[in-house]
Structure 1
């Protein structure tokens, strides 16, 4: 996976950058193409001189003259929507810098992530069809971009609770797990929030560095254990780690503004943030082709376990994918999901694809064993 800004569309008819636009113009035609969230105000001459019949321009700023010519030539133009804190037509996933723009200067409340959450809270229950349409457009664009980024990747989902504090043994263990998985060639994908999710993304970020780097990073982060009471301080601590070690390994985070009080962690290189939580959950679990590891968590993690169980039980996505639950006491006594999982799996193909281990150190071997079952 490249950086979000470097990523090129995997679909031949989609144009998602100026470089792709220029290449299409050089080839002689934009007819029938989809141009998505590309600023074309500096490409007036090209628009005037190129065939655009049947093209669709989604949120592409352009000068009035070229826009009139494009429309007259049979193209469909969906203009940018002014005043939004997000781009409903965006062609790429988010980067941490994009979501946290302004953090260093003004704090979290001024960032695009916080402003999008504020907009979502104002509009999600007012019945405004236009706002609902914008959310749907945005989330569909995110799903398309996520599909392109993960094409051909062996994705391992790592689930766990948002309350796991930086500086704790559990946080360090989850970070080592993420590093081990990334070093084995897997693409780590998490729910994108704080706690265990952040730790796994941090581990993947640390994968290219020596082992001491992760220990030092965890020590730096421990100074701000939680995103409460201050998301600003929590996020700035993460960016301080990124600044000290700027060349981190890639991973994917899939958070949601539905739970916008949980900020996205800044350690994933690719962030697919959704407004609709159901799309986010399905997008994360359905793309975890190499399996899912469940660290201790509460209601959200339990939901993710059984969201994974259903397609495994019915084999609706083909062969069941491995499921590894970590921490025997948590999953048999505190939240006894494991006995129910065993009962559901009994006599089915998925029975050979589930495991319960006690420590994160055991999880990669269990995953490898289940993958060969």
Structure 2
């Protein structure tokens, strides 16, 4: 709604409210929101503007929360999409998914190939709930065949929220930049107490030990983190141990 309001020296200016937004003078649009909505002859570039993106982002959060709210205890499993089925870590991820499902956990992955597919496969074949949170990427399309509950996201930050919000722990197998991003996101949230502390297990000591040593010998030594921060990760090569750590966090004595 627009109205004229008086200003000094007898001049008048136009003030227009668009929802919570105030516009005056040359910022007042020549048409109303309803008019632009109902005008089928108008331009279509509005579907690509930032305010419309906010609605898409909101939709992703609502869809994610609504779909995952009743998962129950869940573990997020991360690792490379490039891992071949004949690699040792693929077999380990299958067994990990199977044991997690048999322990009553939902298994959450990024829904793609490689390690993600393997963990979903183990969970699905054990009769468990196998969740895939996919992401729109130019080189990765669709969810793997072992996902029995899946959501595809446009935005990484919406997807990452779901990984953390609905998981009680993370198991991280060998992976690349995306895996590192998810790992350090989780560690940061635990360190800063933005989330309730939960276990982070690095699976594959010969892959992760160099990173763990660097964190202790350089990052901790420089004073960039504290001693408790350096202990937020646990390293193992044993699927049984990884699952036991997750069960202990769910069922503390």
**TM-score, normalized by the shorter chain, greater than 0.5:** yes
* Match 1:197 to one of 77, 91, 116: 116
Alpha carbons of structure 1 residues 254 and 276: separation in structure 2 relative to 1, 3 Å: same
2:227 is the counterpart of 1:346 = yes
- Tell me the residue number matched to 2:177: 299
Q: TM-score, normalised by structure 2?
A: 0.70
Q: Secondary structure at the match of 1:272?
A: strand
Question: Aligned Cα RMSD in Å?
Answer: 2.7
- Tell me the residue number matched to 2:148: 269
Spell out the pairing of 1:1-373 with structure 2 (5 A cutoff): 128-132=45-49, 136-152=54-70, 153-208=72-127, 249-257=128-136, 259-263=137-141, 264-288=143-167, 290-317=168-195, 319-333=196-210, 336-337=211-212, 339-340=214-215, 343=220, 344=225, 346-347=227-228, 351=231, 354-371=233-250, 372=252
CA drift of 1:285 comes to 2.4
Q: Secondary structure at the match of 1:329?
A: helix
**Partner Cα separation in structure 1 for residue 163 and residue 96 of structure 2:** 18
Higher strand proportion: 2
Alpha carbons of structure 1 residues 338 and 359: separation in structure 2 relative to 1, 3 Å: farther
**Partner Cα separation in structure 1 for residue 153 and residue 53 of structure 2:** 8
**Partner Cα separation in structure 1 for residue 52 and residue 133 of structure 2:** 19
- Is the contact made by 1:354 and 1:370 (CA closer than 8 Å) also made in structure 2? no
- Is the contact made by 1:302 and 1:337 (CA closer than 8 Å) also made in structure 2? no
Structure 2: gaps of 5 or more residues: 1-36, 39-44
CA drift of 1:161 comes to 0.6
**Partner Cα separation in structure 1 for residue 126 and residue 130 of structure 2:** 10
Q: Deviations over 1:210-246 (max 9, x none)?
A: xxxxxxxxxxxxxxxxxxxxxxxxxxxxxxxxxxxxx
Greater Rg, structure 1 or structure 2?
2
CA drift of 1:301 comes to 0.8
Alpha carbons of structure 1 residues 170 and 273: separation in structure 2 relative to 1, 3 Å: same
- Is the contact made by 2:96 and 2:122 (CA closer than 8 Å) also made in structure 1? yes
Q: Deviations over 1:145-181 (max 9, x none)?
A: 2212322411210000111112333212201111111
CA drift of 1:141 comes to 2.4
Q: Deviations over 1:3-33 (max 9, x none)?
A: xxxxxxxxxxxxxxxxxxxxxxxxxxxxxxx
**Partner Cα separation in structure 2 for residue 164 and residue 359 of structure 1:** 19
Alpha carbons of structure 1 residues 346 and 175: separation in structure 2 relative to 1, 3 Å: same
**Partner Cα separation in structure 2 for residue 279 and residue 338 of structure 1:** 32
**Partner Cα separation in structure 1 for residue 226 and residue 162 of structure 2:** 23
**Partner Cα separation in structure 2 for residue 296 and residue 186 of structure 1:** 22
CA drift of 1:144 comes to 1.6
**Partner Cα separation in structure 2 for residue 183 and residue 189 of structure 1:** 14
Q: Deviations over 1:238-271 (max 9, x none)?
A: xxxxxxxxxxx422111111x2411221221221
Q: Deviations over 1:106-143 (max 9, x none)?
A: xxxxxxxxxxxxxxxxxxxxxx5413566543443232
Paired residue total: 201
Structure 1: gaps of 5 or more residues: 1-77, 80-127, 209-248
**Partner Cα separation in structure 2 for residue 173 and residue 287 of structure 1:** 23
CA drift of 1:311 comes to 1.2
CA drift of 1:297 comes to 0.6
